[in-house]
Each structure stands twice: as C-alpha cells, then as structure tokens.
Structure 1
Amino acid sequence: MSADAGRVAVLGDCPLLRHGVARVLEAAGGPAFVLGAGSVDEVTAALEHGEALAGDVLLVDLRLSPGCLAEVVARLSGLGFAVLVLSSGPPDDARAALRAGARGCVSRRAGERELLAAIRLVADGCSYVSADLAVGAVPDAAPPCHVTDRERQVLELVAHGETDHGIAVRLGISEHTVHSHLDRLRDKIGSRRRADLTRFALTHDLITATSVPG
C-alpha cells in the first residue's frame, strides 16, 4: 500500500486528539483524514450520508470500560469499518477489543511513526498490536539479531506500507532481492507477518526518516 492510499476516520472523546491525528496524516501525505466524530451516532450518520465509507480505517479513542468498548467495537466492525483502537489498558483490554472485531490496538504511548504504521497496516488488511499491549512494557534493549543497513531500509518501507514492488522501485533493486531481504528478516525475528516486522523495527528503534532513499 502506498502512503497516499486509504481513508481514516477518528472517533474520540477529545477534539484535540481528532485534530492531532488529522495533522499527522496531512504532514505524512496520507492516508486521507475524512471524519472526526465524538460519538458512535455521529459515525453512523456520516456513514449514512456518505461522509464515511465501509472499509475506512476507524481510529477509536474512547474512555470506556473494556466491556463497553468491546460493544462499540463490535457495532462499528459490523458496519464495515476497519477498527483500530487506542488503548492504555492492560493486554487483556486489547485482547477484548480484538475479540470484538478490532483489526488492531495501538498504545496511547505510541509516537506518530508507530501510529502511521499501524493505520497503514490495518488499511492494507493486516492487524497490528503495540508491543506493550501484547506482552507488557518492553525495556530499552539492543535488537536480538544483527540487521544490515539494507535490511533497515526494507523495514522502513514495510512500516510505511509499501508493497514488495514498491520497495524494489524505491531502492532500485529487483523484487527477487526484496524477497530475499524479507525472508532473512523473517527468519531472524521468527515471524512471517508484516505487522510483526513493523513492530520489531519500531520496538528496537531500527528505522528513522533519514534511512529512506528520496
């Protein structure tokens, strides 16, 4: 998925959060921000009027009990939204949201880079859960394996939602070479999922804006 693909709506208690997400998406060049809502009824009305569409990523930031939040997630997922929940609760809260139909859960402690990566992964049909929501707080540590400079570049583009073809074009290499880099990275971290590659890179601070070729 390219950086300018997809649409994002935000359902949140805090107007400043909704405004902030819109600014982050604008500065990143996409996905497009299409709606900021303060209630589920506003989201439903926007869907009825075509301001929001089934398939849009819906970032949910509501201060509700886990049970009430799960009910909201189930309702919104049933309407066709790809729900991504912001959470500061324990891993059990994230699991409850995922069981209710959320595509992902992002920690409220996440930075802009992680939020954008999560949105792009969910928009592309993947799932994402912040490391501290999945396994508890992750201490600062060196990565458990060596990652080359080229692998860092590949990880950066994966986190930005690029396809294998897009990575090949950006780096000036063949898709076969991209596949080789990804295979080595997946062997190193022990997972085949792009969401896990992104989470690994973010957790160990392996990617920076300057690592992406212009």
Structure 2
Amino acid sequence: MQSRLARGFLPKAVDAEDLLIAIKTAAGGGAYVSVMVAEMIVEDHADWPMTAGEVEPSPRDEQVMQLLATGERDVDIALIFDIGVRTVLGYLDRIRDKTGVRRRPDLVKTAV
C-alpha cells in the first residue's frame, strides 16, 4: 500500500503554473511548498529562539562584516566575492538575525 503523506502544500488560490510544478515534483518523489505557504510558516515562527549553532557567524559572515566595516557598498561586496547583490543582502539579513542588530549604521558599528 502506498503512503498517503502529503508531498506538498499549496494555497487555495494557486495558479496553474505552480500547480503543475507541484504535481510534477510530487510525482517525481519530491516535496513542494509554495512561496506563499513558506512565507506564512516563516512569519508564524519568526519569534522562535535560534539555537546556539545559529548564533555563531560563518567565515563568510565575518568577511562580509569586515567589508561592511570598511564602508563597502552591497554592490562592491558582491563584486569582490563574485556573487549577486541579492546574495549579499541575504548574508546581511542572516547577520542581522544572528546579531539582533537591525539598522545598517548599527550593523556597521558592530562590524567595526
């Protein structure tokens, strides 16, 4: 007998493209969660405390912080690491989560 566990989560107002992707993913044995559902999950759990392992900055976090402390812009950091600006913004968001510092000037001060 085949398992009847959910292989994906979609909102009621799913568009045809997302539905097709979800069906193909589940049929191939994978799991699919729509962006809208993932955002709702993250928002519902935003106040969960981080574990001790998530508090430690990664080596890349430290490199980004060093460049931030020297006044580099997001675009410059992206060029230095040969990554996209959105990736840099992702690093900065994770650094903010780890440090609890939200504002950029305060983040620079923490980096210094």
Please report the TM-score for the alignment, with normalisation by the length of structure 1. Answer: 0.26
Which of the pair has the greater relative contact order for Cα pairs under 8 Å at 6+ separation?
Answer: 2
Please say which structure displays the higher CA radius of gyration. Answer: 2
Which has more strand, going by share of residues?
1
Comparing both structures, which one devotes a greater share of its residues to helix?
2
- TM-score, scaled to structure 2: 0.47
